Amino acid sequence: MNLICNVDELLRVKVAEALKVLYNVQVEPGSIVFGKTNPEFEGDFTFVVFPYLKVSKKSPEVTAGQIGDFLKANISEVENFNVVKGFLNLVVSGNYWIDYFYKIAGRRDYAYTPITESSPTVMVEYSSPNTNKPLHLGHIRNNLLGYSVTEILKANGNNVIKTNLVNDRGIHICKSMLAWQKWGNGETPESTLDDVCKKGDHLVGKYYVEFDKHLKKEIETKVKNNWEREDAAAKSELMLEAQEMLNRWEKGDKEVVALWNKMNDWVYSGFKETYSMLGVNFDKTYYESKTYLLGKELVEFGLNKVDAVSGEKVFFKKEDGSVRIDLTPEGLDEKVLLRSDGTSVYMTQDLGTAVERFKEFPKLKRLIYTVGNEQEYHFRVLFLILKKLGFKWAEDCFHLSYGMVELPDGKMKSREGTVVDADELIKLMVDTAREMTLALGKTEGLEKEEAEQLYKLIGLGALKYFILKVDPKKTMLFNPEESIDLHGNTGPLIQYTYARSRSILRNVISWDIENCTPSDLRQLGENMDKKSRELIRLLSEFPKIIRDAGKDYNPGLIANYVYELSKEFNQFYHDTPILKEKQSDLRNFRLSLTYKVAEVIKSGMLLLGIDVPEKM
């Protein structure tokens, strides 16, 4: 099913045609940009003519006027125009808007591209937690961004595979294991007296912090005994024990592997609860413990593979036995792929995992890694190595880089136990939503269970929206109080707007959007009020917003669009009678418009992974 062609697409074609006819200049329609008309002036779209003055060789006002005359003469949809200096404000006919609205009114899918057998397959990796600690605020942004991007890609007609790569091995995992072995006294999630640690990921995280405390104490003792701090850290008995535990794990030592399995199971149980609260899921989970060996096999391949450009072997072995690749000709550095003791590094695992995924899914057209911007260099190296190894699909790998989440008092540090824990933050948001809702008296008539569900919905909605409305590339400051405010650009404001629209519709005894077309569309179009017109114009933007969000992997475009739509509807609700409108055709139209706005708000929020309440 094709998307309905919007008037702005037609206008781009006709503006390009006008530039060709009037000034003999060839311009691609896709390069033509329209802005929203300043509220002080009449218009639906504004075209800025300043970039074309060199070819028109006329003043801004004359150039804009000539293009406006051409459009009005050649497009019935352009009812009028006005010129303000170099700004051409185009007024689309009310008949077009009313006709467009009733074409989309009964179509839930008007902004979506259907998924078919021939749809491209895209894999999105997100979450990627370590099994030595619980999820924190940084993980929340990762999970929410990754999940939302998958939903947006689906809306753009892609067959999406949601994946998680669990970092379940390595020295950091052994730190928690060793600390529990030394100081845990057999503590388990079931036996612990600490309520927080009854969740297994928190218990394991406790011992990760414990390891760091003892390590620092050991280093300080050595420094007091005249050791150089660097030597004290490098020759720490505790670190050497953790490294030995990792070596034993890689050799399959039964005792170490049994402890590893037990503590990982505690963590997985805890992760499952957090994922459920966040509303994210995965189609497939990979484990580093099973993929790092694939990377080792690839190292052997690289030692024999000749670089097509340099004529040298892609990988080389150093005197100490380590395997490396020299990327200095590309402006990077020399990268270790296998340590001198034969153990692998992250790059080794990522190489093997990438190869395995394209083998497993031969139709894969795009592999997207959702990882923080501190890993940008890592992915530049990864993709370059894959390319040098001769994998053509390396060009189809993409790093969805996002900025860190910062707090008013600084950055988070896992080893010191100063992170903003995901579970605690979720609880804080739900508790805050409860307090706000009760203070506003919004729970009257709700059963206790129903009210608790509403608190969760509002709290999680506030958290998700506040994070996703920010461009992923930007570092953001998280402010819980600001995120849950019922005023401004927040999730609860949008949720409340949806609930308000549904409340209006519940007051209609008998009404169906698909059988509610007014008897005289033309009369309605010619007399349509400004607020209704603006709502339809915003509804017409939804397909393009989805396409742009999919192209840029940016849920913030959806979030801010839904906010603008909600804000405009609230003004419409304030200024325009709906249920009290006495003229039946006009009343039916406004009810249909209310229904459609509510539907699009809900659709947009679901693309962000946010639920909206029927009552609030």
Q: Is residue 505 part of a domain?
A: yes
Instruction: Say whether pLDDT at 3 is over 80.
Output: no
Give residues with Cβ within 8 angstroms of 196, minimum separation 6: 202
Specify whether 482 is located in the same domain as 413. no
Query: What does 551-584 look like in DSSP terms, one character per residue?
Result: HHT-HHHHHHHHHHHHHHHHHHHHHS-STT--SH
Question: Which tens digit of pLDDT belongs to each residue from 237-250?
Answer: 999 999 999 999 98
Task: Provide the 8-state DSSP code for 130.
Answer: B
Specify whether 404 is located in the same domain as 503. no
Specify whether 398 is located in the same domain as 333. yes
Q: Is residue 338 part of a domain?
A: yes
| This prediction's pTM | 0.92
Instruction: Say whether pLDDT at 63 is over 90.
Output: yes
Specify whether 299 is located in the same domain as 361. yes
Helix 200-224 and helix 254-278: axis angle, to 10°?
120
Q: Which two tokens stand for residue 258?
A: 């049994």
Q: What is the pLDDT of residue 513?
A: 61
Instruction: Say whether pLDDT at 411 is over 50.
Output: no
Q: Output 469 or 513, whichever has higher pLDDT.
A: 469
Specify whether 357 is located in the same domain as 474. no
Q: Which of 27, 58, 92 is the last residue of a domain?
A: 92
Q: Output 308 or 577, whichever has higher pLDDT.
A: 577
Identify residue 272 by its one-letter amino acid code. Answer: K
Q: What is the pLDDT of residue 415?
A: 42
Beta bridge partners of 80: 91
**Cβ(268)–Cβ(325) under 8 Å?**
no
Report, as an integer, the average pLDDT of 212-226: 94
Give residues with Cβ within 8 angstroms of 39, minimum separation 6: none
Give the span between the Cα atoms of 386 and 392, in whole angstroms. Answer: 8
Identify residue 153 by its one-letter amino acid code. Answer: L
Give the span between the Cα atoms of 137 and 250, in whole angstroms. Answer: 31
Report, as an integer, the average pLDDT of 381-405: 96
**Cβ(49)–Cβ(88) under 8 Å?**
yes
Q: Is residue 539 part of a domain?
A: yes
Give the span between the Cα atoms of 477 and 260, in whole angstroms. Answer: 36
Q: Is residue 436 part of a domain?
A: no
Q: Output 174 or 522, whichever has higher pLDDT.
A: 174
Instruction: Say whether pLDDT at 445 is over 80.
Output: no
User: Where does the pLDDT of residue 290 fall: very low under 50, low under 70, confident under 90, or very high at 90 and above?
Assistant: confident
Specify whether 401 is located in the same domain as 531. no
Domain of 558: which CATH number? 1.10.730.10
Specify whether 386 is located in the same domain as 474. no
Report, as an integer, the average pLDDT of 590-597: 94
Question: Which tens digit of pLDDT belongs to each residue from 88-116?
Answer: 999 999 999 999 998 998 888 899 999 99
Instruction: Say whether pLDDT at 255 is over 80.
Output: yes
Q: What is the pLDDT of residue 409?
A: 62
Q: What is the pLDDT of residue 510?
A: 62
Long-range contacts formed by 578-587: CB under 8 A, 24+ apart: 578/504, 579/504, 579/507, 579/508, 585/518, 585/519, 585/520, 585/523, 585/524, 586/518, 586/524
pLDDT > 90: percent of the chain: 78
Q: Which of 53-62, 274-283, 287-296, 508-517 has the lowest mean pLDDT?
A: 508-517
Q: What is the pLDDT of residue 417?
A: 45
Identify residue 226 by its one-letter amino acid code. Answer: N
Instruction: Say whether pLDDT at 4 is over 60.
Output: no
Q: How far is CA 217 from the centre of its chain?
A: 41
Domain extent, residue 469, equals 458-607
Report, as an integer, the average pLDDT of 610-616: 94
Q: Is residue 469 part of a domain?
A: yes
Distances (CA, A) of 3 to 103, 113, 521, 536, 543: 11, 7, 22, 16, 8
Q: Is residue 159 part of a domain?
A: no
Q: What is the pLDDT of residue 412?
A: 42
Specify whether 397 is located in the same domain as 523. no
Q: What is the pLDDT of residue 414?
A: 41
Instruction: Say whether pLDDT at 7 is over 80.
Output: yes
Specify whether 318 is located in the same domain as 413. yes
Q: Is residue 582 part of a domain?
A: yes
Q: Is residue 170 part of a domain?
A: no
Question: Which tens digit of pLDDT belongs to each residue from 362-380?
Answer: 999 999 999 999 999 999 9
Report, as an integer, the average pLDDT of 20-39: 94
Domain of 37: which CATH number? 3.30.1360.70
| Chain mean pLDDT for the chain | 92
Specify whether 495 is located in the same domain as 416. no
Instruction: Say whether pLDDT at 514 is over 60.
Output: no
Q: What is the pLDDT of residue 515?
A: 60
Q: Which of 194-203, 308-317, 338-347, 429-438 has the lowest mean pLDDT?
A: 338-347
Q: Which of 44, 70, 92 is the last residue of a domain?
A: 92
Q: Domains in the chain: how many in total?
A: 3
Q: Which two tokens stand for residue 199?
A: 């969740």
Q: Which of 92, 125, 149 is the last residue of a domain?
A: 92
Domain of 313: which CATH number? 3.40.50.620
Specify whether 481 is located in the same domain as 603. yes
Q: Output 607 or 488, whichever has higher pLDDT.
A: 607
Dihedral of the alpha carbons of 269, 270, 271, 272, in degrees to the nearest 10: 50
Specify whether 583 is located in the same domain as 463. yes
Q: What is the pLDDT of residue 297?
A: 83
